Every structure is written in C-alpha cells, then in structure tokens.
Chain A
Amino acid sequence: MDSDNRIPENKKLTTFNVVTGIILAGGVVLTILRFTMGLGTVTNLDNNNPWGIWIGFDLLCGVALAAGGYVTSATCYIFGLKRFHSAVRPAILTAFLGYALVVLALHYDVGRPWRLPYPVFYSPGTSSLLYEVGLCVFLYLTVLFIEYSPAAMEWLGFKKLRNVVVKLTLLLTIFGVVLSTLHQSSLGALFLIVPSKLHPLWYSSYLPVYFFISSMFAGMSMVIFEGSLAHRHLKDKMDETHLRENTGVVLGFGKAASFIMMGYVGIKIIGLSIDNNWHYLTTGWGLWYLLELIGFVLFPGILYAVGSREKNLTLIRVASLWTVLGIVLNRLNISVVAFNWHLPSAQRYCPSFMEIATSVFIVTLGIVIYRFIATRMPILHEHPDYRAH
C-alpha cells in the first residue's frame, strides 16, 4: 500500500489529467452561462418538456446508482454479513458523492441556489411527492456525510469525535435504509401523475416498486463495477483485507443482484399482465421495451447467475457494467424517451450539446473527487490506528 501522496512531475500531465482538465474547464464555462444567461441558453427544455436529462440522467440515474450505500451498509451491519465490511466505505463514499452531485445537478435545473432550503424550512409542501423526495435526499445526504465522516476524521486525526460517530453506525444504517426506501420509490411515484404522457409500457401503478427494487441491483452492480475500477487503478491504495475480501464481495453481490433481477423481471411481467399491455409489445415501442427488459435486465441477470456459479469474476464485472447501463436506459426511457411519446417528433425533447456536456462535467467532477479522497483517506484500506473496527 502506497502512503506517499506526492505526484511525481512526469505523472502530472497524464491523459486522464488532461482530459478531466478540459472537461472541468468546459464545465465551468457552461456553469457561468447557465447561471447568468438562464436555462434557455444551454438547454432545449420548454413548457412541454420541463424535465430533461439533468433530471433523467443526473438525478434519477444518480440516485439509483448511489443505492450501493444503503445496500452495502445494510448487508454488513443489519444482516451481519461482515465479510462484506471492506466494501462499505467505498460504497458509502460513492453514495455520498452521488447524492451530493445530484443536489449540485438539481441547482442547474432549478436555478436560484440560495433558495435550496425553502422547500424544507420555509414552505414545505407536505402533500407533494417532490417535497418528500427533497426532504429524504436532504436527510439522507446528511446521514451519508456522517457515515463517511469517520474516514475523514481518521485522516485528520480527530480520534475522539471519530469514535463517537462510529458508535452511531447501526442507527445511521437503519435511518439510511428507511430514507432510501422512501425516496427511491418516491422518484418512481413522481411519474404516477402522468398516465397520459408516459407510454403505457413504462407507466404502471407499480412504478414506485419498480424504482425501489431496481435501485437494489443498481446499487450492487455499482459496488461491483466501482470496485473493479478501484482494483485496477487504485490497487496500490488497497490493503491486504480489501484485496482478500474483493472476490467474496463480487461473488456475493453478483449472486444477490441476479436473484433480485429475476424477481424484477417477474414483477415487470406481472405489471404488463395486470394492465393488459401485451398488445403494445408488437409495436416499435414494444421492441424498445423488450430490449430494455430482456437485453439489459434479464441478460445481465443470467450473466450474474452463470458468473456466480462458475466463480467467473470477469463475467460478473461485465454483467455489472451492463446492468448499470440498463438502469441508465430505464430511467432515461421513463423520463425522456417514452415521455410525451404521442407528440410529433418536432415537439419532442432532444438534449442540447451543452446539457450533455454539463452532465459529463458533473460525472467527471465526481470521479475526480472520489480519486482525491480515495488516494488520501482510509477508504480502500484500514487506517493503521483503527484496525479493530
């Protein structure tokens, strides 16, 4: 494990650094444009399509893929599967950064950042699902920050405060699971209000259930995918325990994800049946729906199953990337592609280049911050002074 964080001169101008530098610089320009010239300058949003990819990708996908935090901490601390302990800190960090960036991305969409506290403290709309989502994200981001903070405190040397926070672990985990159950499902429930706008194949009264169940295997897949990236690029920051437990984490999460994905396919078929939407399957929309369900849920689910059975880690890692892409496809289908499906194509929403570039900027920002923290703080290794926990 490498404890020296100084970067040699010849390693400062790497491809990664140059590309991220260009993306971040472009993102700063777009941010200035957005907040000085308004939404219309950088987006293709209008009154028919007020939610674009900043909601569909940055928010819906961000929240779903950050579900690894509650899934991993519940697995370890509530179900007592301590063999997954080494996966908790990276998962919590990913979730914390994911949610923090969701809130950041929301600022680009909503504007007027100084009004962020209004929905929670000034004018709570207690009958609104958006209020519930906002409150849950606010509370869960706080919970994730506290769950992540022991790593920062160990790095900073705040021993006493760190020990107090560690004692709250179980309480925070339970709180995190409750809040995640609420807002993951509520994000799906937001679309219950648009039965006439969302294509019947994606619209269902079970949308909250679909969003919650899919967040579970999205989170697990993200833990596997992010773990494999860390294993490849930050291996020198991993200690013996992390390297040893990694195989078990990949196999265990792969198996669990596979089982949940099969259940998810089952409840999606039940949704088709109960709404009698079979006849739509023979249309173009139906083929697109089947591609999402079979190509990006059933197929990676089978890959996970075979990979877990054969103990083939490469297959499981491929399945995790496939599943992450499937979740992105599902959330974009619901919020953008199958939304306003009946409108003529001239009135349909298509994201502008600047909207896509802003989303790329936000994702890149997350990767850079993750790398900064993981190379300095005890995320992928245990701090030598606190090995007992």
Chain B
Amino acid sequence: MTAPLLRIRDLAVSFATYGGVLQALDGVSFDVDKGRVVALVGESGCGKSATALSILRLLASPPARLVRGEIRFEGRDLLHLSEREMRGVRGARIGMVFQDPMTALNPVYTVGFQLIEAIRLHRKFTRKEAREQAIAGLAKVGFPEPAARIDSYPHELSGGMRQRVLIAIALACSPTLLIADEPTTALDATIQAQILELLQKLRVDLGMSLLLIAHDLGVVASIADEVVVLYAGVVMERGPTASLLSAPAHPYTRALLRSIPPSGPTAFRTRETKGRSLPTIEGTLPDLRSPPPGCRFQARCPDVVDRCTTDAVPLTSRSGGGAVRCFLAEVAEAAEPAATTDVA
C-alpha cells in the first residue's frame, strides 16, 4: 500500500494560559489517503481546529507549543520545515477554507483581488493571466457570471456566494489536500446542500483529498469516507463512516449520536408523545490543564468502570476497520486477534 497523503502521528500540542499549561492535543494520530474525505468531529473545545491549524502551522507560538509528534505530508514532515518552505505548502499544496465566510474575506478588497493575490503568490502569472485563472476558478465553484461579478466586494455577495469564493481561493493553486473548517455551519439549509454537493463534485473531478471539520454528524454522514472522533484532545474512535455511525463502539460516539433529534417523516412528535426527553451528555469537558488519569471521558461516561479512572486507555484496532479507545469495547473485541495499539 502506498503511503497516505497526510499522516499524523502522536501529535501533542499545548497552550500556555494564565491558569497553567493546557494540553489541547494529546497523541492524535490518523491518516488521510489520496482522494478520500476524512471528517474530524467532536464538541467545541475538543481540538478539531487545533489539529487543522497545526497541520498548516498556523498556531501562534507562544502560546501554542508543539510537545511531540509528526505530520507527514507528501513525504515531508511539516513540523520541521522552515517558515519559508512552509509558505510553499500553505495555499499551494494544502488549501484551507475557514469557517465563517462573513469574516474570512477582507471587506476592503474585491473578491477578484483576493483571488488573484492567492494565485500570484504561488505562480508566476501576469495580472491578465491570473485574472483569467481567477474567472475560471470562480466558474468551477459554480459562481454565477464570474466575469461580470469578479469585481464585487464581499458585502455585495450572499453567504453562499462568499463561501464559494473562499473555496475558489483555497483551490486556486490546485492543492492536493483541502482542509475545510465547518464549511457549511454558517449557511442556510438549502445553501448547505449546494456547498456539500460542490465539495463532493470537486473531490471527484480534481482527485483531491478533503479533511473536513464538522460538528454536524448529518453533514459528515453525507460526505465523509472516514470519521475521526475527538474528545478533549484525544482520538476516541475512528473508522469508516458507515460502520462508525451505524455501530459506534465508543460510549462518547454513541452519546453524540443519540443527542441529535431524530429526523425523517416519522420523527416529529405529536402532543401525545411529548414528554419523552432527548438523551443528553451530562457534565462538561474535563479541565485540560490537569486532565484526569485514565480515560478523559470518564466523568460523563454512563458505562464507566474502576479501571477507566486509573489506567491509560490504548487505541485498539477493531475487526471491521477503524479503532476505538475504550476498555469496554476492547473486551467486546477480545475474541478478535488483531489488537495493536495506537498505529493502525
């Protein structure tokens, strides 16, 4: 098997805060293969964005500090590149779409200017050539009348259009990996459907890999091949989307899935069935300045046993592909022989 496009191993990042050192990521490992869509899911504060920003080395240091780990992309360890080499990766090889299309664009420049800027940073094009490229790029992301509207300012565009511009900028230099941080969260339902369809199409057309950061498991289900579930800076479970969502092995994944209001034509509640309440996850994230020994989910876990509060839990491979970090799931899998730790 060929090496994955992006390979993250044992990534640990801490932040210095006034209250002490906060362990934001603690031993995160996963791969993104060529042409695949991998989704990072979890609640806010669990380390999704910290992972994405670490890949691009965009975390300000200090307060952020790389404790240990390796991020191998196209054969190079990104964590040991010089800032100058890194600039050749950012934008050129790895594109990034930020969460909020309302604030990610500069309001005082036209979208054309910002798109051309991105193109000319990495390629030796004349202004005219770059402009043609920019128009072609906008057309590719389904921006209507790109030649006429390339000189619009961000405030003249709707949220969906701005998100298309951001995707066009991220794709300007045909990156092999696109990182999208909550690309549809700020958008309306029908526009969200359009953007998801676009990402799906681009991935097929361009053979690009996608690292998607999302908290909406519905979005994840509709586009991702694999899912990585993060909790308090630790990978709790990962695996192929279909099996992970249909048969989650970790109590946290199960709790997350249960707390989503059911949908579908039979999900509505009549007056009679009201009063049945939605399952919730009680409690809050552990204090990452002094995480508890053992499992980080212990305080909120419905199935917690004594061992969970004392022993470090290894990430154990599952027979159906994927891996889970839970003693109870480990017992369930014990019949299967392959039980390697950490590196799948």
Do A and B pair up? The answer is no
B: residues with CB less than 8 A from A are none
